[in-house]
Amino acid sequence: MHTKSIAFGLLAAAAAASASDVVQLKKDNFDEFVKSNDIVLAEFFAPWCGHCKALAPEYEEAATSLKEKNIKLAKVDCTEEQDLCQQYGVEGYPTLKVFRGTENIVPYKGQRKANAITSYMIKQSLPAVSVLTKDTIEDFKKADKVVLVAYFDANDKTSNETFSQVADKLRDSYPFGASSDAALAEAEKITPPAIVLYKDFDEGRSVFTDKFDAEAIEKFAKTAATPLIGEVGPETYSDYMSAGIPLAYIFAETEEERKELSDALKPVAEAHRGVINFATIDAKAFGAHAGNLNLKADKFPAFAIQETVKNQKFPFDQDSELTHDAIKAFVDDFVAGKVEPSVKSEPIPETQEGAVTVVVAKNYNDVVLDDTKDVLIEFYAPWCGHCKALAPKYEDLAGLYAKSEFKDKVVIAKVDATANDVPDEIQGFPTIKLYPAGAKDQAVTYSGSRTVEDLIKFIAENGKYSASVSEESAEETPVAPAATEEVHDEL
Ligand SMILES: *[C@@H]1O[C@H](CO)[C@@H](O)[C@H](O)[C@H]1NC(C)=O
pLDDT for the residue 479: 36
What pLDDT does 472 receive?
Answer: 65
pLDDT of 484 over the 50 cut: no
* pLDDT classification of 236: cutoffs 50, 70, 90: confident
Cis peptide before 423 (omega within 30 of 0): no
Which distant-in-sequence residues (6+ apart) come within 8 Å of 449 by Cβ?
Answer: none
Residue type, 294: N
Q: Is 389 in the pocket of ligand 1 (CB under 6 A)?
A: no
Closest Cα to atom 3 of ligand 1 = 160
Q: Single out the catalytic residue among 49, 214, 444, 460.
A: 49
Angle between helices 157-170 and 214-225 (to 10 degrees): 50
**Ligand 1 centroid from CA 392, angstroms:** 70
State how far the Cα of 473 lies from the Cα of 485, in Å rounded to an integer.
19
The pLDDT value given to residue 196: 98
Residue 488 has pLDDT above 90, yes or no: no
Quick: pLDDT tens for 186-215: 999 999 999 999 999 888 999 999 999 999
Q: What is the pLDDT of residue 91?
A: 87
Residue 100: how many other CB atoms lie within 10 Å: 20
Q: Is the predicted pLDDT of residue 15 greater than 90, yes or no? A: no
Question: Nearest-CA neighbor of 233 among 277, 267, 283, 163?
Answer: 283
* Residue 219 confidence (pLDDT): 85
Among the listed ranges 49-53, 74-78, 81-85, 115-119, which one has the minimum average pLDDT value?
Answer: 115-119
Q: Is the CB of 159 under 6 A from ligand 1?
A: no
Identify the structural domains of the chain with CATH numbers, from first to last.
Answer: 17-123 (3.40.30.10), 126-224 (3.40.30.10), 229-335 (3.40.30.10), 357-487 (3.40.30.10)
Main-chain dihedrals φ then ψ at residue 341, nearest 5 degrees: -65, 150
Q: How far is the CA of 131 from the centre of ligand 1 (A)?
A: 7
- In ligand 1, the atom with minimum distance to the C-alpha of 164 is 1
pLDDT tens figures, 356-405: 999 999 999 999 999 999 999 999 999 999 999 999 999 999 999 999 99
Mean pLDDT, to the nearest integer, of 458-475?
85
Which of the pair, 479 or 52, is modelled with greater confidence?
52
Establish whether residue 154 lines the binding site of ligand 1, counting it when its CB lies within 6 angstroms of any ligand atom: yes
> How far does CA 335 lie from the centroid of its chain?
26
Instruction: Tell me the mean pLDDT in the region 314-338.
Output: 97
pLDDT at 478 over 70: no
When pLDDT is cut at 50, 70 and 90, the band that residue 125 belongs to is: confident
326 in Cβ contact with 301 (< 8 Å)? no
When pLDDT is cut at 50, 70 and 90, the band that residue 14 belongs to is: very low
pLDDT band at 483 (very low <50, low <70, confident <90, very high): very low
> Per-residue pLDDT for 2 more than 50?
no
Q: Is 78 a catalytic residue?
A: no
Angle between helices 324-335 and 255-271 in degrees, nearest 10 = 40
3-state secondary structure the chain: CHHHHHHHHHHHHHHHHHCCCEEECCHHHHHHHHHCCCCEEEEEECCCCHHHHHHHHHHHHHHHHHHHHCCEEEEEECCCCHHHHHHCCCCCCCEEEEEECCCEEEECCCCCCHHHHHHHHHHHHCCCEEECCCCCHHHHHCCCCEEEEEECCCCCHHHHHHHHHHHHHHCCCCCEEEECCHHHHHHCCCCCCEEEEEECCCCCEEEECCCCCHHHHHHHHHHHHCCCEEEECCCCHHHHHCCCCCEEEEEECCHHHHHHHHHHHHHHHHHCCCCCEEEEEEHHHHCCHHHHCCCCCCCCCEEEEEECCCCEEEECCCCCCCCHHHHHHHHHHHHCCCCCCECCCCCCCCCCCCCCEEECHHHHHHHHCCCCCEEEEEEECCCCHHHHHHHHHHHHHHHHHHCCCCCCCEEEEEEECCCCCCCCCCCCCCEEEEECCCCCCCCEECCCCCCHHHHHHHHHHHCCCCCCCCCHHHHHCCCCHHHHHHHHHHC
pLDDT at 86 over 90: yes
CA 69 to chain centre: 36
306 lines ligand 1 (CB under 6 A): no
User: How much of the chain, in percent, has pLDDT values that exceed 70?
Assistant: 92
Decide: 175 and 144 in contact? Cβ < 8 Å. Answer: yes
Q: Are strands 95-100 and 104-107 parallel, antiparallel or unpaired?
A: antiparallel
Cα–Cα distance, 238 to 258 (Å, whole number): 21
At position 490, the amino acid (one-letter code) is E
- Cα separations in angstroms, 449 against 333, 428, 467, 474: 47, 15, 19, 19
**What pLDDT does residue 18 have?**
54
What's the pLDDT score for residue 239? Answer: 81
179 CB under 6 A from ligand 1? yes
491 pLDDT more than 50: no
Q: Quick one: pLDDT at residue 272?
A: 94
From the candidates 331, 356, 387, 455, give the one annotated as an active-site residue: 387
**Exposed/middle/buried for 409, CB within 10 Å: 0-12, 13-18, 19+?**
middle
- Is the pLDDT score of 7 beyond 60? no
Q: Report the nearest atom of ligand 1 relative to the CA of 132.
A: 13
Nearest CA to ligand 1 atom 7: 131
What mean pLDDT, rounded, does the chain reach? 90
What is the C-alpha separation between 93 and 112, in angstroms, rounded?
A: 13
Kindly give the distance from the C-alpha atom of residue 209 to the centroid of ligand 1, in angstroms, as a whole number. 20
- Ligand 1 centroid–CA 210 distance in Å is 20
Q: Is 85 a catalytic residue?
A: no
| Cα of 470 from ligand 1 centre, angstroms | 74
